[in-house]
Amino acid sequence: MATAAMPREAPAVLPRHVAIIMDGNGRWAAQRHLPRAAGHRAGVEAVRSVTRAARAMGLEALTLYAFSSENWRRPEDEVGALMKLLKFFIRNDLAELVRENVRLRVLGDYRRFPADVVELVDDALERTAANTGPILAIALNYGAQAELVTAARRLAERAARDGLAPETIDAAAIEAELETRDLPPLDLLIRTSGEQRLSNFLLWQAAYAELLFVDTLWPDFDAAALAAALDSFGKRQRRYGGL
């Protein structure tokens, strides 16, 4: 498998955890008078390019919004095509992730997917579980509001079952129930395609993340685009409410 070109040197101030809302596959295809499936295929190639660049530049964690809990509303044939591409990515790229010591994580209820997809995801998670390198988190059937509801329910169950005192529930207690609890804090959230909304993605985690909205359609987002985004992050001042 060909390797991506090395990106230029990472900025001095490097985010630990970057998340990307990968948007624009359909518009990319429409601009070229191609079916939407062609845009999704091109989007998989962008995933390869960006994940390799992220490793080369030293990111600790990269989270990609691949399939939201709302994406089930799309036409059945498009959902089916997305499932096929997910299987294609796992089958073709898992060996590289294992070799590069990448820890694969999944956010969301991926067990709603077809059984053959669930089996492939389970295998990928198992084969990378002992890796100690960078984290690649894929959001599959993920929705931030559902994540927060689940966290609240777990705390309520502990209160009813174990007598957890309400006054002891703080931000740390909630974060411990989130699916990102073992990931570094989110530093930078990027959305491609020019849209400027979070679309139910990492709402809690993005509270103090830097947000970057770029016009580039996802299939055209590459190592150079990632480097430019990290440069932008490095120029920002993060005060967390202080001076």
Annotation-wise, does 189 bind a ligand?
A: no
Domain that holds residue 126: 17-211+225-230
109 counts as catalytic: no
Type of residue found at 118: V
Confirm whether 218 is domain-assigned: no
Predicted local distance difference test score (pLDDT) of residue 177:
97
pLDDT of 12 above 70: no
92 counts as catalytic: no
- Burial class of residue 206 (count of CB atoms within 10 Å of its CB; 0-12, 13-18, 19+): middle
Annotation-wise, does 101 bind a ligand?
A: no
Confirm whether 219 is domain-assigned: no
Annotation-wise, does 32 bind a ligand?
A: no
CATH of the domain at 62: 3.40.1180.10
pLDDT of 6 above 70: no
Annotation-wise, does 120 bind a ligand?
A: no
Annotation-wise, does 39 bind a ligand?
A: no
Confirm whether 38 is domain-assigned: yes
Dihedral sign, Cα of residue 114, residue 110, residue 35, residue 221: negative
What does the pLDDT look like over 87-97, one tens digit per residue?
Answer: 999 999 999 99
Total of domains in the chain: 1
Set 23, 93, 187, 222: catalytic member: 23
Predicted local distance difference test score (pLDDT) of residue 202:
98
Confirm whether 100 is domain-assigned: yes
Set 71, 109, 131, 220: catalytic member: 71
Confirm whether 204 is domain-assigned: yes
Q: How far apart are CA 196 and CA 20, in angstroms?
A: 13
What does the pLDDT look like over 40-85, one tens digit per residue?
Answer: 999 999 999 999 999 999 999 999 999 999 999 999 999 999 999 9
